[in-house]
Structure 1
Amino acid sequence: MTQKISILVIDDDPNNFDIIEGLLYDYRYDLHYSSSGKNALCQLEIIKPDLIILDVMMPDLDGIEICKIIKANSLWQSIPIIMVTALNEKKDLAKCLEAGADDFISKPVNRAELSARVHSMLRIKKQYDSLQELLNLREEMTSIIVHDLRNPLTNIILCAGILKIPQISPEIYLEKVDEIVSSGEILNNQIDNLLQMGKLQYGQLILSLKEKNINQLLKSEINTFKNAANFCNIQLILNLPSQEKTVIIDSQIIGRIINNLLANAIKFSPNDSKIICELNYLENNIIQIKIIDFGNNISEDKKQLIFEKYQIASEMEEVQQLGLGLAFCKMAIEAHNGTIRVENNAEKGNIFIVEFSDYSQKLEQN
């Protein structure tokens, strides 16, 4: 449901409010009235108006002073203010603008002029709000990217420091080298995700379709995560059909999707649990891959949200951010004309299901 636009009218004469209400009646704005500047300042935080229509001449605080106070406050300064004045001298109008007013209208107020100026100011406010939302999103995005890149980088630095310790045992040496390699691969994958997401977002990604044994592709991806899984004492199980099938796909894209899903599954799974990767061949040449974990269930309201860019999974306390992985998976599989969804595991946890077509038949038809 779209929220109604809220307008605060500040005027010591209630008759003037009635006039403005009548002139703007057709637009169904949510109009609020304040008879004094002091009262209006108290109402601002409650009403949170999208626009203020402010009379210049008032007894306690005049419109110029009220305008200065509002525009000096960082919480309110983005609210457009239209000054209503009976003064027509250029110096008086200049005072309104110097006080921070965004526009002004002369008395007697004309319906067409009032509606035009209100629409203009609301359009500017909407543009400002959109820009502010974009800036907030960029700030959140930067925080998430730094968070996601810092984890593997920190592990590399820690492991490298341990390798400097004199007389380190060969077993620990090899273990830390494996961790450095694993963290480096994760870091490289996250950077690749960022680059690929840029191409996906702007429609610049071109699928590189080649023959690939899908069984072998999954075996390769599972092997990539053996060290990370062993470190958390998580068992990786690969269930493959007895039939080995060669398909025509973009194996880099599909491989990266599986890589992200496995990384997420390990991140959110408790120690001493298991993760199952399952491959199925469905009707109509559809390939289905399931990544099954036994961690915390994703709630129904989060099941779509987690595939949006830069969303935070606040309900998962042990890991605060999902970052770009699932958003990339969604964009990438859709570019491959496939789908991704998540369902609850009957036992406990989640089942991420990826489905896509083998391009062999399409190429044969062409």
Structure 2
Amino acid sequence: MLIVDDDTASRSTVAALLSPLRYRLRFAASGEEALASVEEEIPDLVLMDVMMPGLDGFEVCRRMRALLQEVSIPIVLVTALDARKDIVRGLEAGADDFLPKPVHGAELRARVRNLLKVRAYYQLLATQRDSALATVDVLRQQVLQADRLATLGTFAAGVSHELNNIAQVLRSALESPFAPRDGSAEARADVQSNREALTHVSNHLTELARTILRIARPTGAELQEADLCQTLREVRDMLRLTGRTRHAQVVLVLPQQPCRIRANPVHAQQVFLNLISNAADAVVDAPSPFIEAGVQAGPEGRLEAWVRDNGPGIPSELRTRIFEPFFTTKPVGAGTGLGLPVVKQIVESWGGKIHVQESIGRGTRMVIDLPVAPASASPRASP
């Protein structure tokens, strides 16, 4: 307990009156000394005279409140002043109670005990608050960890999905000749096609590894550009090599000039690998399987890309769910339900949108709206 009074006798009197309570007492003979004492060690209660040379009790009380901020310490002003305006001034300065001089021992001890009980209550609330905040922080970390594990699980399944596509390309390439069996131009073209597909696969694997590293250690990678015309040609060749589209007629509708967007070229491959693979699965039982993929200029510096098939189409009640993770209309074991969610995430990261276009009769048309890369031309599509 801190007793502040410029009069030595008054300090001694208060100390004697409080002696039955056996509190540890500290003393200050001025306002400046009291502030220095509080900075050195925060007391549980302050008993302070008002009329002191230099800083009076009102000013010291105000400065203590500013110094201690949220720390709840009872401050009792002991004064001979009894005018209402002085009481109001003391309360506005931050005092909790007043005691008139001369101080009555029993009243002093009773008020001190009550104020210390209030302080103990505030300390208990502060402790409970700190404990609650610590618990909230622990729970928040647990939620973040659970969310991180869920994200990693989804990501791991997505990587597995992509690696499965790549493995099919590799398997088909390994089953094909690496050197022409004869000197015909067609044989040499097949070998060159295989090599190009393997190059694309190698790039795809490299980018997957880089993506995993970016998740563990994000960096501000420089934006790249992808030509969607070139992307569609590469994806068509990769899927033809795997045999995924051998049962269907695949037609590309491309403009004469490049259609460039701000995107990683391998991510662009990933989008159309998923969309055309889904279309290939959809037309397996169609009488004349047909898949069309293309890109064309849109209004206001936009591009429209699409993948269309003549399969059975997507029921209207399922169109709102096809982009949900792990939702699939394919038989058990035939799909992970991750292709379209990954596609949607990638397209939106480019500043684009993807949706299923309403169609009459059979078939599905997936449409992607994308911004053109700056300074790129706006070509017209031609079959």
The TM-score, its normalising length taken from structure 1, stands at 0.48
The TM-score, its normalising length taken from structure 2, stands at 0.46
Please identify the structure whose Cα radius of gyration is greater. Answer: 2
